[in-house]
Amino acid sequence: MSRSVPLESLVEGPGWVGIMSQWVMWKVFHLGEFLDPEGTPRWLWRRGQQRPDGLKAISGIGYKSSSDHARVLCKRWGIPYVALEDGFLRSSSLGVEGDTPMSMVVDPIGIHYLADRPSLLENMLQNPHTLTEAELATARALIALMRSSGIGKYNNAPDLSNDDTLGRDKPLILVVDQTYGDFSIPGGGLCEADFIRMLDAALAENPDADVRVRIHPDCINGHKKSCLLDAALARGVTLENRHVSWASLATRARRVYVGTSQAGLEALIQGVPVTCFGLPFYAGWGLTDDRLPIPRRQARPTLEQLVAAAYIRYCRYVDPLTDQRCDVMTVARQLARQKQQDSQFAGELTVLGVPRRRQPAIRRLLDSRWGRVKFTRNSADLMAAVAREGGKVLVWSTHEPQDLSSHAAAQGIPLWRISPGNATTSLILKRNDSDEQHLVQVRGMPCSQQQALEHHAQPNPRLLDSCPRFRQISRYLKGMFAL
């Protein structure tokens, strides 16, 4: 299991951190872990002329209008404002779907998406020589993992199929859409109209290519309005709105055009050339084709140094399996493991021979956001039905019908065998005689066998704290019964 990662406080002195946003206080599940080096987060209810005792800083979400009052109080009381934002490896699903962030940014200087002022991240990138060799080694490992697994800030979509010919018959150019009203757009020196200019430039500069607009996931789901949807339709540009991961699309592209989206950073990590029409934090360092100047960014960090500063130093992480602070690789591996399981069990899974009492537990172990588990009995027309769906068959190894293997082979259907593992929350999956995989979960998330053992062996700190009270109650009850 991950161990708590020590961090230095970004705000000097003892005290506590005030929170004025109900969303931050009640919806950021691991707020105490993210802000622990600075102080315990508490609800700030006294907002008059005098600063409450012990208050050392106020924290809120970025520099949006919702945090204006907090910044006014910080100026009045002479204390720092600490900006919070989602980290660059956030979660398995979208934030609008309510998924808890695994990483957050804590910045007492500015915030990374505002190019009109410095930020903690920009100061780090101005001095790339301060990054240690250990941090650079971790950055190289992270880049390799992101390239092999395709993980990114959000990980709610499967990869593009290898059979898809996108970008192979004709060069592909991707123009990245953003949501209308995204605060990083004016923060990066753009307005919504500049996105139309970016689309026209991509069309003019790449007459031989298949130019497509990648619609933002929130716009695909109808949660928010798009900056480029109407312009793309008016110009007859193909919309790339399929529910597939960004990394699997970006690797097919010859070039990616972005305004201020983090998609540009993830494309850089995948080794794809990026053109920036705005000023995101990764622009202006010589790694991108920039259409706006930012003279104060004089350093020339490498991609490894950029990743080390952004993902390792700037972001803070919490392991969802332990609720403790952890390093970037712990979260990255967890996201990759979740995505791998979702991909493995995508599509229709037909499960045979499982006793009814075991079905709920096995359904959880085989669960995939991109698939469906169906328990049924063997029948004469079962294999034909599975073949039509393009699905897979899983069978409880001790209840396998005699002719099942031959029927599956005749229909070209993958046949996997499952059997109980060492614990009630584990399963052994065999795809062939030499391939054995242990499926283990903790808190409904896939994990390794070692993580599961450590999780169950590690006592809950709150439970340990309550032991003295239970002992007192036990002594009291023992005395009562003795009477």
pLDDT tens sequence across 264-313? 999 999 999 999 999 999 999 999 999 999 999 999 999 999 999 999 99
**How does pLDDT run across 316-350, given as a tens digit for each residue?**
999 988 889 999 999 999 999 999 999 999 999 99
Task: Write down the pLDDT at residue 1.
Answer: 46
- What does the pLDDT read at residue 172? 98
Lowest mean per-residue pLDDT among 134-148, 187-201, 394-408, 452-466: 452-466
How deeply is 109 buried, as exposed, middle or buried, from its count of CB atoms within 10 A (0-12, 13-18, 19+)? Answer: middle
Share of the chain above pLDDT 70, in %: 88
pLDDT value of position 234 = 96
Q: Which residues of 419-439 are buried (b: 16+ CB within 10 A; e: fewer)?
A: eebeeebbbebbeeeeeeeeb
Q: Does residue 3 register a pLDDT over 60?
A: no
Helix axes 328-344, 133-149, angle to 10 degrees: 10
Tens of pLDDT, residue by residue over 50-106, are 999 999 999 999 998 889 999 999 999 999 999 999 999 998 877 666 678 999 999
199, pLDDT greater than 60: yes
What's residue 448's pLDDT? 57
Give the residue-averaged pLDDT of 395-412.
90
Q: Is the pLDDT of residue 440 over 90?
A: no
The one-letter code for the residue type at 323 is D
- pLDDT of the residue at 415: 93
List domains and CATH numbers for the chain. Answer: 16-86 (3.40.50.1970), 133-319 (3.40.50), 345-457 (3.40.50)
Position 23 scores a pLDDT of 87
pLDDT of residue 456: 47
Q: pLDDT, tens digit, for every residue of 117-132?
A: 999 999 999 999 999 9
Q: Is pLDDT above 60 for 424?
A: no
**Distances from the Cα of 472 to the Cα of 331, 459, 464, 475, angstroms:** 40, 20, 14, 5
Question: Which one is predicted more confidently, 393 or 4?
Answer: 393
| Pairwise CA distance, residues 341 & 158, whole Å | 11
> Which residues is 324 bridged to in the sheet?
319
Residue-wise DSSP of 229-296: HHHHHHTTPEEE--S--HHHHHTT-SEEEESS-THHHHHHHTT--EEESS--TTSSSSSSEESS--TT
DSSP H helices, 254-402, are: 263-269, 303-307, 328-344, 359-365, 382-389
Question: Mean pLDDT score of the chain, rounded to an integer?
Answer: 89
Band of residue 398 on the pLDDT scale cut at 50, 70, 90: confident
pLDDT tens per residue, range 24-33: 998 888 999 9
Residue 48 is predicted with a pLDDT of 82
For residue 221, pLDDT over 90 is answered with no
Q: What is the DSSP letter of 91?
A: B
Q: How far apart are CA 120 and CA 313, in angstroms?
A: 10
The answer to pTM > 0.85 is yes
- Residue 483: the pLDDT is 47
**Residues 82 and 11: beta-carbon distance below 8 Å:** yes
Instruction: Give φ, ψ of 257 to 5 degrees.
Output: -105, 130
Tell me the average pLDDT across 153-159: 93
What pLDDT sits at residue 439? 77
> Which pLDDT does position 450 carry in this prediction?
54
Under the banding of pLDDT at 50, 70 and 90, the label for residue 46 is confident
Q: Please tell me the distance from the alpha carbon of residue 59 to that of residue 81, in angstroms, as a whole number.
A: 6
